[in-house]
Amino acid sequence: MPELPEVEVTRRSFAERIRGAEITGVRVGKPLRWPLGVDPEQLVAQRVGAVTRRGKYLWLALERGGLLLHLGMSGSLAFASRVGAPGPHDHFDLVTRRGTLRLTDPRRFGAVVWSPAPDAGAAAKLLAGLGVEPFDAAFDGAHLHAALRGRRLSIKDALLGGRIVVGAGNIYACEALFEAGIDPRTRGDRVSRTRCEALAKAIRQTLSRAVETGGSTLRDFRDAHGMAGEFQREARVYGREGLPCVRCGTTIRRVVQGQRATYHCPGCQKR
């Protein structure tokens, strides 16, 4: 589910409400991708600080250290003053005086990991090597072009890798490449400087529009209030195999790259 827009929409939906709340209990369900890395009792009585985002990770600052959260493929967070009994896919509850933050994640590719700081311990290891933030001033066509130098892998795989720029997953990489008119199979080092400018712009535009519309709810994404996203209605290529391109009428094609589906318009997107 969650690419940068969904993670950011989630963050915005509970960050201010949870800020300053005192933790009164922690419930851990089935194992997630990585161990929590701390005795849950150590979190009790601490106050929650700022909730920030790096790529598709959230950092929940506590008084001593913090929690790094990832939603994996199927995770979502809910924050409510009252939550029901945990279901089979509710794997982490952070109970505070103001409400409970609950991670639901059927596939359990997500994670909640304690770390002494975002740039130390377990968090540092997970965040190391992440590419630049797409809304950061450091991300532009020049950066993209330089980072792609000598890279023979496809531009789509380069974006998904997250080592150049973070945030665009399978949906938004497909959408941004469509907006930029670039065939997703184009070798990274064959994308011209000019097209890198267009692509950087398209990535920023696509992601910011997705944040505005609440992210994409393909199946089950919800923000921490339980609100679904609307961006999937604006997708031009993702999930539209066999349908006519909204821009040129050519049939949208589905190909497989790196074991993931890629959707593109052969009429609008060129190598």
Residues acting as catalytic residues:
2-3, 56, 260
Site string for DNA, 67-96 (x = CB under 7 A): ---x-xxx-------------xx-------
Output the smallest distance, CB 186 to DNA, in A: 12
Residues in the chain: 271
Output the smallest distance, CB 205 to DNA, in A: 18
Which of these, 160, 123, 219, lies nearest to 4 by C-alpha position?
Answer: 160
| Half-sphere exposure at residue 35, Cβ-oriented, CA atoms within 13 angstroms | 4
70 vs 50, 84, 100, 138, 153, CA distance in Å? Answer: 16, 23, 17, 24, 26
Cβ 184 vs Cβ 257: under 8 Å: yes
* Stretch touching DNA by CB under 7 A, among 103-111, 138-146, 176-184, 242-250: 103-111
Cβ 181 vs Cβ 268: under 8 Å: yes
Q: Does 157 bind DNA (CB under 7 A)?
A: yes
Output the smallest distance, CB 207 to DNA, in A: 11
Q: Does 115 bind DNA (CB under 7 A)?
A: no
The DSSP bridge pattern shows strands 57-62 and 90-96 to be unpaired
Q: Does 106 bind DNA (CB under 7 A)?
A: yes
Q: Smaller CB distance to DNA: residue 23 or 235?
A: 235
**List of E strands, 165-247:** none
Output the smallest distance, CB 216 to DNA, in A: 5
Q: Smaller CB distance to DNA: residue 39 or 220?
A: 220
| Vertex 94 angle, CA 91 and 96, to 5° | 155
> Where on the chain is the footprint of DNA (CB under 7 A)?
1-3, 6, 30, 33, 55-57, 70, 72-74, 88-89, 106-109, 126, 129, 150-153, 157, 160, 162, 169-171, 188, 215-221, 229, 258-261
